Amino acid sequence: MAKVERAKVAVQSFLRMMKNERDASTHTLRAYERDLREFMEFVGEGADCGSLDHLRIRAFLSRLYERGLSKPSVARCLASVRSLYRYLGREGLVNHNPAALVATPRLPKKLPRVPTIEELASVLDDDVAISEAFPERDRLLMELLYGCGIRVSELVGINIGDIYASRSVILIRGKGKKQRYVPFGDGVRAALKAYLPVREQRISRRASRLTVPLRQASALIVNTRGSRLTTRSVGRIVKAIAVAKGLPSDVHPHTLRHAFGTHMLEEGADLRAIQEMLGHERLSTTQRYTQLSIKHVMQVYDQTHPRAK
């Protein structure tokens, strides 16, 4: 019989495992911590996880709805509780997973709006500086996000030594400590050539004041002070560029990743190759881009074929 596992202790143990063993990102850890804090507040920090049933989990979701949370937010909280119980089950701390008996809220199938090839080309091929503060850096990060389809967390984690210019590939460290090589083209190559000398100047200037840690000097993408750029900063930069160049204001780094997969599929790329470059564990995740591509084809058909309407 599983020993009694109090909610607060269980959550702390789960979060430690996610950080130390799964190497979860800071963003992921914050999301789990936030969701499970909500759960603890509802059931009580001293509650015995093994004695909770699916009705209690449903009551928790009902409370979230009463507080005005959206279906996607409630679904995310439920997923966090399920993950907690899966961990406790593997550790032999509970005998069952009550959250597995609770149905996930039905979510509307909303496909993200992806900028067209022409729209992104107009941004990246524009001779006008993307920003005055650090235009070389901003152009490179846009080229990497769209040209390589990498996640924003992967972008900020790239080090100088991860670039293999002679082979035109970059070593990417993805989720769960998984690594993959992603090719890059002339756009990234040109952006690197313009950026690296400016980056070196900023790193040297910071180091001369003895304020830059040695670990920061290895970062490829740095801020104006020469330190590694954060994911939040990348998001702000991408949004500012999108607005300045006439793209929708809801464009963010992951939009460029979607665009990478969708545009490659539209141009005839193999789905398995796209899966490898994006670092998707399951092909079903990559197949989402098939839906995006079909949506684009239907829009073109409706707008251009004389017998479409």
Q: Is 27 a catalytic residue?
A: no
| Strand (E) or helix (H) holding 164 | strand 163-164
Q: How many Cβ atoms are within 10 Å of 51's Cβ, its own excluded?
A: 12
Local structure of residue 114 (DSSP, 8 states) = -
How many other C-beta atoms lie within 10 A of the C-beta of residue 8?
Answer: 16
Catalytic residue among 257, 258, 263, 296: 257
**Does residue 151 carry a catalytic annotation?**
yes
Q: Among 122, 125, 182, 188, which Cα is nearest to 151's?
A: 182
257 catalytic per annotation: yes
In the set 85, 87, 146, 289, the catalytic residue is 289
Name the catalytic one among 151, 199, 228, 263: 151
Annotated active-site residue in 199, 239, 280, 296: 280
- Could you say which of 22, 173, 254, 295 is catalytic? 254
189 is annotated as an active-site residue: no
Q: Are 172 and 181 in contact (CB under 8 A)?
A: yes
Query: For the residues of 265-289, what is the DSSP string, one character each?
Result: HHTT--HHHHHHHHT-SSHHHHTHH
Active site residue 309: no
Query: Which residue among the candidates 175, 180, 288, 295 is catalytic per the annotation?
Result: 175
Contact 231, 157 (CB under 8 A): no
- For the question of residue 280 being annotated catalytic, the response is yes
Residues that are catalytic: 151, 175, 254, 257, 280, 289
